[in-house]
Amino acid sequence: MKMAKENNVKLHGMWASPYVKRVEIALKIKGIPYEFVEEDLVNKSQLLLQYNPVHKKVPVLIHNGKPICESLVILEYIDETWKNGPPLLPQDPYKRAKVRFWTSFVEKELFENLLLVARSEGEAQEKAIKVVFEKLQLLEEGLKDLFQGETYHIDGETMGILDIVLCSLFGAHEAQEEVLGVKFIDPEKFPLVCSWVTALTEVTAVKELRPPHEKLVAVLQFIRQRALQASAA
Amino acid sequence: MEEVKLLGFWASPFSDRVIWVLKLKGVNYEYVEEDPYNKTQLLLQRNPVHKKVPVLIHGGKSIAESSIILEYIEETWPQNPLLPQDAYQRAMARFWIKFGEEKMATICAVFRTAGAEQEKAIEEATELLKIMEEKGLGDKKFFGGDAIGLVDIAFGWLACLYEVVEKVSAVKVLDADTFPQLHAWIQNLKVVPVIKENLPDHQKMVGHLKRRRETHLALPNCHN
């Protein structure tokens, strides 16, 4: 039956990957049923290498046999293909540009630098922490503009691309604080960012998809130890 | 009709791509030349986060980041569409645009290096260009198919700027024998009127990149 074929969605991913989490949240928000295929990133399946020969990474969304790679590309694809669920992007081109701008900012400026904090120590880490605080300050300023009037708002259970990406980064902020000993989501320094992240972690789809705190702590500790050992070698 | 202004820099490929798309869509705009070493108040006001060109100002609203500007133009002026209608094909286009952005620095690393480091840079650039040729372009005339699209525009710097990079860095990476399809694509892209008529002055670019390369190589601990 045609309906069944159109709904054939598989997601190749890994439980701890924030990039994969983005796609899972989007699929849940849109109410799209999917099959999750857990990949061992140390021992990648033939199928993954076939579906993503360029980057060989997760997430990969397979829709009716056709692979789509790169989480942000996947999110836009989901939004354009399943128009029945809540929209992940606004309709207006200028609002879309703003959302894409801040999504790109979170992806390039915050994600990268937070990873650096996790993978370094001493002076290098101090420097990286400083950069994250600077970028958070820019985001805080940007939110004042973004949240003005009708440009943007957190609407109960609805999430858009920017919400999803920010949540995929700072949803695990408690685990990050525990492992790194730094409080980034600070209500005094960044009240807008903090209240936004807090609201996002309460969304049902996010709660249902969040791995247990101990597991997140363990994975972050593992990433950190491995990186520190590699740089000491 | 609301006013369109573009803050750009003559030597910036990111600036060029916005010009090409505006012209392909027949959008009238005012061009404002920015000096990256002496930024105007207007630029700092309009792009306070990154303080970079290009910035598009449409009816008083500013849009920054070239790939975001390109999608904004595509959505605001739908004539002469540069992205496919089909969602899957659009995803493929966005995939390659992203690839080009992420890998541009590595492909151009030959410019910032010399000696053994440059040898390594040539290897890495070759690998990436091979991926683009085999998996991105394939047998098509353009990345967009029979006509140019946003991917071709996003990769335009490869067709127009890269040979200057190679000349100034005294290397040859993108040669016709190793990359027959990419080479053909370059020749096809260069004759598209909008592209041909909106390229930075070759000699000026050579001089500009020569100076930039000297600056790079003079930096202590030049990491890539």
Find where tokens 């140019």 sit. B148
CA distance A98 to B121: 35
Mutate to test the interface with A, among B50, B51, B66, B133 (most CBs of A within 10 A): B50
The pLDDT assigned to A6 comes to: 64
The pLDDT assigned to A154 comes to: 59
CA distance A192 to A213: 24
The pLDDT assigned to A155 comes to: 61
The complex scores an ipTM of 0.94
Contact indicator for B112, B212 with CB cutoff of 8 Å: no
pLDDT surpassing 70 at residue A160: yes
- Find the residue in A nearest to B132 (Cα): A54
- How do strand B4-8 and strand B30-33 relate by DSSP bridges? parallel
CB contacts, 8 Å: A104 with chain B: 65, 68
A35-38: strand order across its sheet: A35-38, A9-13, A60-63, A66-69
CA distance A188 to A141: 14
Contact call for B64 and A101, based on CB within 8 A: yes
Nearest-by-Cβ selection for A81 from B64, B75, B87: B87
- Find the residue in A nearest to B68 (Cα): A97
Query: Closest Cα partner for B32 from B8, B63, B62?
Result: B8
CA distance A220 to B178: 43
CA distance B26 to B4: 12
Nearest-by-Cβ selection for A76 from B64, B69, B94: B94
CA distance B183 to B188: 9
Mutate to test the interface with A, among B46, B75, B96, B135 (most CBs of A within 10 A): B75
Which tens digit of pLDDT belongs to each residue from A113-150?
Answer: 999 999 999 999 999 999 999 999 999 999 888 877 54
The vertex-A228 CA angle with A225 and A232, nearest 5°, equals 135
Q: A78 versus B159: which is more confidently predicted?
A: A78
- B60 touches A at CB < 8 Å: no
Q: To the nearest whole number, what is the mean pLDDT of chain A? A: 92
Mutate to test the interface with A, among B66, B73, B74, B94 (most CBs of A within 10 A): B94
- B102 touches A at CB < 8 Å: no
Compute the count of residue pairs across chains A and B with CB atoms less than 8 Å apart.
58
Rounded-to-5 percentages of helix, strand, coil across chain B: 55, 10, 35
CA distance B32 to B54: 10
Max CA separation in chain A (angstroms):
61
- With helix as H, strand as E and coil as C, how does chain A read? CHHHHHCCEEEEECCCCHHHHHHHHHHHHHCCCCEEEECCCCCCCHHHHHHCCCCCCCCEEEECCEEEECHHHHHHHHHHHCCCCCCCCCCCHHHHHHHHHHHHHHHHHHHHHHHHHHHCCHHHHHHHHHHHHHHHHHHHHHHHHHCCCCCCCCECCECCHHHHHHHHHHCCHHHHHHHHCCCCCCCCCCHHHHHHHHHHHCCHHHHHHCCCHHHHHHHHHHHHHHHHHHHHC
Contact call for A77 and B87, based on CB within 8 A: yes
pLDDT band at A13 (very low <50, low <70, confident <90, very high): very high
* pLDDT of chain B, 224 residues: tens digit per residue: 789 999 999 999 999 999 999 999 999 999 999 999 999 999 999 999 999 999 999 999 999 999 999 999 999 999 999 999 999 999 999 999 999 999 999 999 999 999 999 999 999 999 999 999 999 999 999 999 999 999 999 999 998 899 999 999 999 999 999 999 999 999 999 999 999 999 999 999 999 999 999 998 998 754 44
